[in-house]
């Protein structure tokens, strides 16, 4: 096997002695041969099975020749929009165009189309009429059945239909892509590949499909949003590899999109095998002149130790994509990778992260999950931790100690997020002690998301009292260790269920803590989450209860402004929100008030003069904020709440981090 980047040109193919690729992988991202990038994993897995794979990264979708640079593949095209949904990549929650794309050389925006999976599929089909096209990646995975599309504000068909593709390999596709490749290599026509777990196919008849649940018709869901809520509830309850049933979604009775049950989770040895493949661990050298690919810097010195998440947050799509059953790598595999990092000339001794969707999950929530799967109608941590939950950090603590002991490693950070409620369930507190002593760099980022229990319930998050208990224990542990460290909470505005009343409650909480967020995350309705279903339908699909949804842009602006009530630009919005919420008691000179009354001479937005102590500005200070995206599988505009410690009003010294 040649230790090199996979071919991106005919010249590369000739150098390897190839006349034709078996598969051509078309990606919306630049070519980065690192295991944090989906195209790298899938192409290397296929290579390990003897298949020849070429890469076309970010083709010009307006030029048919751009899709022909490697010729026609022997077995088919693999298509992914990239590590992010292309619409999330391009637009903020307010639907404004982003200025940079960290998955493109030099961070240049505009190198991939909107709805990239659909556009690439149609581009390929316009040139190669009979080549099999298999979609994969997070965009195709989360749009595999009918889905609400926030950017067009309408229900859309399965991406399989609009892209003219033949199959979707959804979820983490190592198992399904090898089975698809082997079937095609055996001469089975792509239209007959209907039997592989973790795939979606289309058919004109259900006569040969067995053991399926029929979902509502697409036209029926378009006419009645409640029907879509019912359909999404069925999808969510059948997203487990052990208990999930086959689903069939009709489109006018003339075509059916059929989702096979999810692929089984990888064993620890299989996970090790995937991450031990001969990745080049960098971006393609052709990008050097442009300054490289910025997204690599986020993950280059991080270790992926697990995948899957049983946290069950309503606004997170990872449950739908990676599943609830946690899979993890062995200590030996992770130590080998850490040793590799120490030989990189750019490595300074710091491992930036050891984790995954949730860093402190290292094994399934309970023993039953690997035999019977995750419970379809119960969560592991919400609303209370299940009595069968195995809350134990011994394995993770042991792993972290081994990584700290690797020669050349100075410090190991944990940045991909922890579940604080899971930490509290581990009564030994050994992990909390090790976390505070060795793995926090001044600030620990956590995600309480809100303080209102009614909103937290809809978010699938623990009630606020649990977070307050964690704050208390984190503070006490740092005091015991004689360390001065802070908590940086992520908070979200305008989530379904949040009225101005709950937004004011959150503002009062921030007032009591003594800081103002520098950036605020407004709820972003991304495809195939429970929260997005609430946003579109007005129903909680789990209970079919009606949910209040703040959709009006002005109301959303008021909810955001309340979180940043100290900012003079937000004064008018804050006053309006307080009046609408019936909380004019918070406009005044008392220390509990959020803003002061405007003087008669002052009027209009932006014309308020600052005076000493006005609106509590004199005590606010800010730290820099950091964009976080989790291992290429998830992304948002979120920045941490910055400033003082979320220490229940405990006054801390200003700390530069």
In the prediction, which pLDDT does 488 show? 86
642 or 379, which is more confident: 379
Query: 9: which DSSP letter?
Result: S
Q: How far apart are CA 413 and CA 120, in angstroms?
A: 38
Asked whether the predicted pLDDT for residue 193 surpasses 70, the reply is: yes
Reported as a pLDDT band with limits 50, 70 and 90, residue 489 is: confident
Lowest mean pLDDT among 188-197, 441-450, 522-531: 441-450
Query: Which whole number is the average pLDDT over 127-155?
Result: 98
Asked whether the predicted pLDDT for residue 648 surpasses 80, the reply is: no
Residues 421 and 456 in one domain: no
96 belongs to a structural domain = yes
Residues 63 and 185 in one domain: yes
Tell me the two tokens of residue 401. 């100690």
By the 8 A CB rule, do 263 and 241 touch? Answer: yes
Reported as a pLDDT band with limits 50, 70 and 90, residue 2 is: confident
254 belongs to a structural domain = no
Q: How far apart are CA 176 and CA 194, in angstroms?
A: 12
Q: How far apart are CA 372 and CA 376, in angstroms?
A: 10
Q: Which CATH number does the domain housing residue 336 bear? A: 3.30.750.210
In the prediction, which pLDDT does 476 show? 97
In the prediction, which pLDDT does 1 show? 59
Residues 465 and 352 in one domain: no
Q: Is 254 exposed, middle or buried (0-12, 13-18, 19+ CB in 10 A)?
A: exposed
- Give the gyration radius of the chain's Cα atoms: 25
Query: Which whole number is the average pLDDT over 343-360?
Result: 96
238 belongs to a structural domain = no
Q: How far apart are CA 71 and CA 464, in angstroms?
A: 57
In the prediction, which pLDDT does 601 show? 54
367 or 72, which is more confident: 72
Query: Which whole number is the average pLDDT over 443-458?
Result: 94
Neighbours of 622 (CB within 10 A): 14
Residues 550 and 603 in one domain: yes
Q: Is 342 exposed, middle or buried (0-12, 13-18, 19+ CB in 10 A)?
A: middle
Give me the phi and psi of 617, to 5 degrees please: -70, -25
Residues 434 and 446 in one domain: no
**Alpha helices, DSSP H, located in 134-249:** 137-142, 159-163, 174-185, 218-223, 225-237
In the prediction, which pLDDT does 297 show? 94
In the prediction, which pLDDT does 602 show? 54
Distances (CA, A) of 540 to 154, 447, 534, 550: 18, 22, 5, 14
By the 8 A CB rule, do 581 and 562 touch? Answer: no
Share of the chain above pLDDT 70, in %: 91
Among candidates 497, 459, 476, 261, which has minimal Cα distance to 379?
A: 459
In the prediction, which pLDDT does 319 show? 83
- Number of independent structural domains in the chain: 3
Which tens digits make up the pLDDT trace of 240-272? 999 999 999 999 989 999 999 999 999 999 999
625 belongs to a structural domain = yes
Residues 403 and 479 in one domain: no
Asked whether the predicted pLDDT for residue 170 surpasses 90, the reply is: yes
> Which helix (DSSP H) or strand (DSSP E) does residue 487 occupy?
strand 486-493
Asked whether the predicted pLDDT for residue 633 surpasses 50, the reply is: no
By the 8 A CB rule, do 506 and 450 touch? Answer: yes
DSSP for 90-157, written as a single string: HB-TT-PBPSB-TTSGGGBS-SS-TTHHHHHHHHHHHH-TTS-EEEEHHHHHHTSSSEEETTTTEEE-
In the prediction, which pLDDT does 600 show? 64
**What b-and-e string marks burial along 303-314, b requiring 16 or more CB atoms within 10 Å of the CB?**
bbbbbbbbbbbb
Query: Which whole number is the average pLDDT over 213-231?
Result: 98
Residues 515 and 408 in one domain: no
Asked whether the predicted pLDDT for residue 294 surpasses 90, the reply is: yes
DSSP for 405-424, written as a single string: TSTT--EE---S---HHHHH
In the prediction, which pLDDT does 599 show? 74
Asked whether the predicted pLDDT for residue 375 surpasses 50, the reply is: yes
Share of the chain above pLDDT 90, in %: 85
In the prediction, which pLDDT does 620 show? 33
Q: How far apart are CA 549 and CA 503, in angstroms?
A: 13
Residues 529 and 592 in one domain: yes
Q: Is 97 exposed, middle or buried (0-12, 13-18, 19+ CB in 10 A)?
A: exposed
Query: Which whole number is the average pLDDT over 565-590?
Result: 96
In the prediction, which pLDDT does 603 show? 52
**Which of 439, 471, 498 represents a domain boundary (last residue)?**
439
Average pLDDT, the chain: 91
608 or 58, which is more confident: 58
| Phi-psi category of residue 477: left, alpha or beta, with phi > 0 → left and psi -120 to 50 → alpha | alpha
Reported as a pLDDT band with limits 50, 70 and 90, residue 169 is: very high
By the 8 A CB rule, do 453 and 613 touch? Answer: no
Residues 447 and 434 in one domain: no
**Which of 149, 176, 201 represents a domain boundary (last residue)?**
201
Which SS3 state, helix, strand or coil, does residue 327 take?
A: strand
Lowest mean pLDDT among 357-371, 442-456, 516-530: 516-530
Q: Which residues pair with 488 in a beta bridge?
A: 445
In the prediction, which pLDDT does 314 show? 96
Lowest mean pLDDT among 77-86, 411-420, 517-526, 632-641: 632-641
Query: Which whole number is the average pLDDT over 411-431?
Result: 95
In the prediction, which pLDDT does 228 show? 98
Which tens digits make up the pLDDT trace of 29-57? 999 999 999 999 999 999 999 999 999 99
Give me the phi and psi of 282, to 5 degrees please: -155, 180
Which tens digits make up the pLDDT trace of 493-515? 999 999 999 999 999 999 998 87
610 belongs to a structural domain = yes
Strand segments (E) across 4-65: 23-27, 32-33, 53-57
Q: Which CATH number does the domain housing residue 17 bear? A: 3.40.50
**Which of 439, 465, 498 represents a domain boundary (last residue)?**
439
Residues 321 and 447 in one domain: no
240 belongs to a structural domain = no
Asked whether the predicted pLDDT for residue 416 surpasses 90, the reply is: no
Reported as a pLDDT band with limits 50, 70 and 90, residue 3 is: confident
In the prediction, which pLDDT does 441 show? 85
289 belongs to a structural domain = no
Asked whether the predicted pLDDT for residue 25 surpasses 50, the reply is: yes
Residues 459 and 359 in one domain: no
Structural domain of residue 80, as residue ranges?
Answer: 10-201
Asked whether the predicted pLDDT for residue 318 surpasses 50, the reply is: yes
Order of strands, sheet of 443-449, starting from the edge strand that comes earlier in the sequence: 443-449, 486-493, 521-522
Residues 505 and 387 in one domain: no
Lowest mean pLDDT among 300-304, 619-623, 632-636: 619-623
Q: Which residues pair with 76 in a beta bridge?
A: 23
262 belongs to a structural domain = no
603 or 125, which is more confident: 125
Which tens digits make up the pLDDT trace of 513-564? 887 777 778 999 999 999 999 999 999 999 999 999 999 999 999 999 999 9
Q: Please enumerate in sequence order all residues whose Cβ is within 8 A of that of 293, keeping only pairs 6 or more positions apart, or say none.
A: 29, 30, 32, 102, 103, 104, 105, 283, 287
């Amino acid at each position: 096997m040649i230790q090199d980047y996979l071919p991106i040109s005919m010249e590369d193919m000739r150098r390897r002695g190839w006349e034709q690729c078996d598969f051509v992988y078309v990606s919306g991202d630049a070519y980065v041969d690192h295991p944090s990038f989906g195209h790298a994993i899938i192409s290397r897995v296929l290579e390990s099975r003897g298949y020849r794979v070429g890469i076309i990264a970010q083709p010009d979708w307006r030029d048919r020749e751009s899709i022909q640079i490697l010729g026609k593949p022997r077995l088919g095209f693999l298509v992914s929009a990239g590590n992010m949904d292309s619409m999330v990549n391009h637009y903020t929650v307010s639907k404004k165009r982003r200025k940079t794309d960290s998955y493109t050389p030099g961070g240049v925006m505009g190198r991939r189309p909107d709805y990239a999976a659909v556009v690439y599929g149609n581009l390929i089909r316009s040139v190669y009429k009979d080549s099999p096209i298999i979609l994969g990646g997070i965009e195709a995975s989360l749009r595999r059945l009918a889905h609400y599309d926030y950017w067009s504000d309408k229900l859309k068909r399965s991406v399989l239909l609009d892209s003219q593709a033949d199959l979707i390999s959804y979820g983490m596709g190592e198992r399904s892509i090898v089975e698809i490749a082997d079937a095609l290599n055996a001469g089975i026509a792509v239209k007959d590949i209907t039997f592989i777990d973790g795939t979606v196919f289309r058919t004109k008849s259900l006569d040969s499909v067995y053991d399926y649940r029929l979902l509502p018709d697409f036209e029926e869901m378009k006419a009645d949003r409640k029907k879509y809520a019912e359909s999404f509830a069925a999808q969510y309850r059948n997203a487990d590899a052990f208990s999930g049933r086959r689903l069939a979604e009709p489109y006018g009775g003339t075509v059916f999109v059929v989702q096979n049950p999810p692929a089984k989770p990888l064993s620890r040895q299989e996970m090790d095998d995937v991450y031990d493949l001969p990745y080049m661990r960098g971006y393609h050298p052709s990008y050097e002149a442009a300054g490289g690919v910025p997204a690599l810097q986020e993950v280059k010195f991080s270790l992926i130790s697990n995948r899957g998440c049983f946290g069950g947050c309503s606004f997170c799509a990872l449950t739908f994509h990676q599943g609830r059953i946690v899979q993890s790598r062995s200590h030996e595999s992770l130590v080998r990778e850490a040793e590799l990092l120490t030989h990189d000339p750019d490595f300074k001794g710091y491992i930036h992260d050891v984790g995954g969707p949730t860093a402190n999950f290292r094994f399934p929530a309970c023993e039953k999950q690997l035999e019977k799967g995750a419970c379809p109608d119960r969560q592991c941590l919400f609303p209370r931790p299940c009595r069968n939950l195995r809350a134990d950090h011994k394995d993770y603590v042991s792993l972290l100690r081994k990584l700290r002991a690797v020669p050349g490693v100075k410090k190991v950070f944990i940045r991909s997020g922890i579940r604080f409620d899971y930490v509290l369930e581990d009564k030994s507190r050994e992990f909390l002690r090790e976390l505070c002593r060795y793995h926090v760099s001044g600030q620990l980022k956590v995600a309480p998301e809100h303080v209102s229990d009614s909103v937290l319930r809809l978010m699938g998050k623990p009630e606020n009292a649990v977070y307050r208990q964690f704050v208390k224990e984190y503070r006490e542990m740092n005091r015991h260790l004689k360390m001065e460290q802070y908590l940086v909470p992520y908070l979200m505005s305008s989530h379904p269920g949040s009225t101005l009343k709950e937004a004011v409650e959150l503002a009062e909480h921030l007032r009591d803590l003594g800081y103002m967020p520098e950036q605020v995350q407004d709820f972003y309705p991304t495809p195939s989450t429970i929260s997005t279903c609430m946003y579109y339908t007005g129903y909680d699909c789990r209970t079919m209860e009606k949910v209040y949804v703040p959709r009006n842009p002005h109301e959303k602006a008021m909810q955001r402004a309340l979180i940043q009530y100290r900012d003079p630009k937000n004064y008018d919005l804050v006053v309006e929100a307080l009046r609408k919420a019936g909380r004019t008691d918070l406009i005044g000179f008392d220390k509990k008030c959020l803003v002061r009354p405007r003087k008669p001479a002052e009027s209009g937005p932006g014309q308020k003069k600052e005076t000493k102590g006005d609106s509590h500005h004199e005590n606010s200070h800010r730290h820099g904020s950091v964009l976080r995206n989790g291992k290429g599988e998830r992304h948002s505009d979120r920045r941490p709440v910055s400033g003082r410690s979320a220490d229940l009003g405990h006054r801390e010294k200003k700390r530069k981090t």
